[in-house]
Structure 1
Amino acid sequence: MPPVKVNVKWKGQSYEVELDTDAPASDFKGQLYSITDVEPSRQKIMIKGGILKDDTDLKTLNIKEGATIMMMGTPGELPKEPPKKTLFIEDMTDRQLAETCLRIIPELQESLNRFPNSVTSPDLQINLTTSLRDLYKQLNRTTESYVPFTFLRALRSAFPQFDQRNANGYMQQDAEECWSQIVTSLNNANIPVYRPNDISTASESSSSSNESFVNQYMTGEFTSILKCVDAPDEPASTTKSTFTKLSCFTSDKDINYMQNGILMALDENIEKDSPSLGHIANYTKKSRISRLPSYLTVGFVRFFWKNNRQIRTKITRRVQFPFDYDAYDLCTDELKQKIGPLRNHILEREKEKDTAKRKAKASLNPNEKETAESKSDKDNEVNDEIKKLIDPELEKDIGANVSGLYELCAVLTHIGRSADSGHYIGWARKHDSTEEWVKYDDDKVSIVPQSEIQKLDGSGGSDWHIGYILLYRSKKLV
């Protein structure tokens, strides 16, 4: 049934809220949390003569349009003012603006600079690639706002679905589809591979000049094992395939973390023709990663088709994602053996650093610092240790992640109840910062603390920004 508007009374104030009776009651509590700052666990909602519980089926309450609902509860501890106030684009210096501009995948910018074609090719996807190259150059030359007309025209020419319009102008399209089409175009354009002199990537002489940037830096490999459930004696088959995005399922009630959602997507039950039985049979397909790319894209499966209403609807349940991601458990046993020594070494060093920081805070001389000379010596020792731990085969693989460890560098969010409405916003980690991010809300650009990114996991319900596409990059080795 369609959503109904209700009036929620709390602390002498009244709020008009759109209640979706097809959604879980916990989503409604999430909406109220985003409005009142009262956490769902602290809310006491009086509705239809009783207290609303998380597992209450809202459809059974027959809530009418304009109904009044009482809520009791107090917010938790108010968040402290960040040490640095929100910085808006009009307050930024030219240097700060330049630092925030398209720094998430620097290797892509370098590779595009080596792409010679002009925007006159009969191949529309080549035109899209050159338009992106020129857009990068333009944005790096100016600190003023810049409307990417040429790039948008190339995108709409290459993929006409993004040119669809209605009475209000251009129709909203799916951001995940747009991302996938751009990545596919970059791959088809066969952009030359960028080879930095960095111990975290392979040496310059190790890759064929025919390898494309997307294949090397953004594409992973699955190894899948297919077993017949109905015929256990039938030999299992092993296949390999590539991916540029991992899917994270969000619909199952037991999925509360990104890792669980990804693993569920990698373990499938399928039906196919069985050569031993001569008819359709049930199979299990277990996929694990046999190559990890430097840049790992994770897409949250938030939209699905609801047959009873013939519309696409949105899954708004909370699924937490990490800032530091360890992909070890997603890998094949063979890849685990290759990345394991370096991964364990890095994780151990991070524990030591955390311990040292805690000791420094408790020390009588917390301002004592090591000399630049001693720090340089330590860095050289770390570099030597890491070089010895990198697997030789992975070192030769340009653009491969050699440790299995990642850090979150960008998030695309959606706010709204369906794919056909709402608003997309981009959030990117500020260049060389661990605590600040840049929020791109159309032409409104601002710097926000990392704590804002933690709220994008769906805890605010459909009336708050929810992570839809996440981009992780290989963690720096030193």
Structure 2
Amino acid sequence: MVHFAWRCNIGKKAKIMCKVKFVSEFDALEVVTNELKSKLTLVFSRLKSIEKEHAEQWKVRKWMKVVQEALSSSKPAEENTDVEMALSEVPGDLEEESMYHVWELQELEALADANLKSDYGCSMTGLYDLVAIIMHKGADADAGHYISFMKKSVFHAKLGDGLTFDKDDGKVLVFPREKLGMIDGGGEDASAYVLLYRSKPLA
């Protein structure tokens, strides 16, 4: 990303005051060769469908939790009839999430191209997750303030990716993921300057 340029009217480098949109997931399939694209497409497509399935499963689990809490409440049994009927309509039992991860990983590894699997560090999917951002605050290219953000899961996978760490002068704060759209530039305020992406794992 280029956020600084030489301004002839003031005789120095200055911050480019325009928005530069960026994505939290980078899809490289459109910029690779056709040969590489053919090797990535199967795993890419299946991984995207698995992520969609995960989103649906999450909704069902969340809904089931609400229903079960309603059933265990202190309401009289007759008032829980509708809740019990709703719970009985859940399509089948959901397995433990860890079991899905095992099955999905096996399936994706079977789909992965053998040559790519033997190339250490190579992306199997062509997908990359945004894991860290360096931001610049201020208008002057030779001054201002730099702040870094990093996903919790970069060092602690079990913590998840819902929030990022904000490291500013030794202080570690929590930065909500939904606010990423506020750091795409457009003024002197803090804006993304360097984006770091990591190859998306199979599972």
Relative to the length of structure 2, the TM-score reads 0.77
Aligned equivalents of 2:146 and 2:14: distance in 1? Answer: 16
Question: Does residue 323 of structure 1 match 2:24?
Answer: yes
Shift of the 376–449 alpha-carbon distance from structure 1 to 2, 3 Å rule, reads closer
Shift of the 452–377 alpha-carbon distance from structure 1 to 2, 3 Å rule, reads closer
- CA deviation after TM superposition for structure 1 residue 366, in Å: 6.4
Instruction: Kindly report which structure 2 residues correspond to 1:1-80, keeping only aligned pairs within 5 A, or say none.
Output: none
Instruction: Kindly report which structure 2 residues correspond to 1:429-444, keeping only aligned pairs within 5 A, or say none.
Output: 429-431=151-153, 432=157, 433-444=160-171
Question: Does residue 467 of structure 1 match 2:192?
Answer: yes
- 1:418 corresponding residue in structure 2: 140
- CA deviation after TM superposition for structure 1 residue 362, in Å: 4.9
- 1:26 corresponding residue in structure 2: none
Shift of the 371–423 alpha-carbon distance from structure 1 to 2, 3 Å rule, reads same
Instruction: Kindly report which structure 2 residues correspond to 1:390-409, keeping only aligned pairs within 5 A, or say none.
Output: 390-409=112-131
Instruction: Kindly report which structure 2 residues correspond to 1:256-267, keeping only aligned pairs within 5 A, or say none.
Output: none
SS of the aligned residue for 1:462 comes to coil
- CA deviation after TM superposition for structure 1 residue 414, in Å: 0.3
- CA deviation after TM superposition for structure 1 residue 360, in Å: 4.3
Q: 1:455 aligns with which of 170, 179, 182?
A: 182
Contact 1:339–1:404 (8 Å) recurs in 2: yes
Contact 1:415–1:462 (8 Å) recurs in 2: no
The residue type equivalent to 2:198 in the other structure is: R
Question: Does residue 302 of structure 1 match 2:3?
Answer: yes
- 1:81 corresponding residue in structure 2: none
Query: Unpaired runs of 5+ in structure 1?
Result: 1-299
The residue type equivalent to 1:365 in the other structure is: V
- 1:340 corresponding residue in structure 2: 41
Contact 2:40–2:124 (8 Å) recurs in 1: yes
- 1:350 corresponding residue in structure 2: 51
The Cα offsets for residues 294-325 of structure 1, whole Å up to 9 and x where unpaired, read as xxxxxx11111122332112112122222222
- CA deviation after TM superposition for structure 1 residue 383, in Å: 2.2
- CA deviation after TM superposition for structure 1 residue 417, in Å: 0.8
Aligned equivalents of 1:393 and 1:404: distance in 2? Answer: 14
Shift of the 313–365 alpha-carbon distance from structure 1 to 2, 3 Å rule, reads same
Structure number, greater radius of gyration: 1
Contact 1:342–1:389 (8 Å) recurs in 2: yes
Aligned equivalents of 1:362 and 1:370: distance in 2? Answer: 13
- CA deviation after TM superposition for structure 1 residue 412, in Å: 0.2
The residue type equivalent to 2:38 in the other structure is: Q
The Cα offsets for residues 265-310 of structure 1, whole Å up to 9 and x where unpaired, read as xxxxxxxxxxxxxxxxxxxxxxxxxxxxxxxxxxx11111122332
The residue type equivalent to 1:436 in the other structure is: L
Contact 2:17–2:188 (8 Å) recurs in 1: no
Contact 2:124–2:202 (8 Å) recurs in 1: no
- 2:108 corresponding residue in structure 1: 386
SS of the aligned residue for 2:40 comes to helix
Q: Is the helix fraction higher in 1 or 2? A: 2
Shift of the 304–430 alpha-carbon distance from structure 1 to 2, 3 Å rule, reads same
Contact 2:44–2:126 (8 Å) recurs in 1: yes
SS of the aligned residue for 2:187 comes to helix
Aligned equivalents of 2:102 and 2:191: distance in 1? Answer: 42
Contact 1:316–1:466 (8 Å) recurs in 2: no
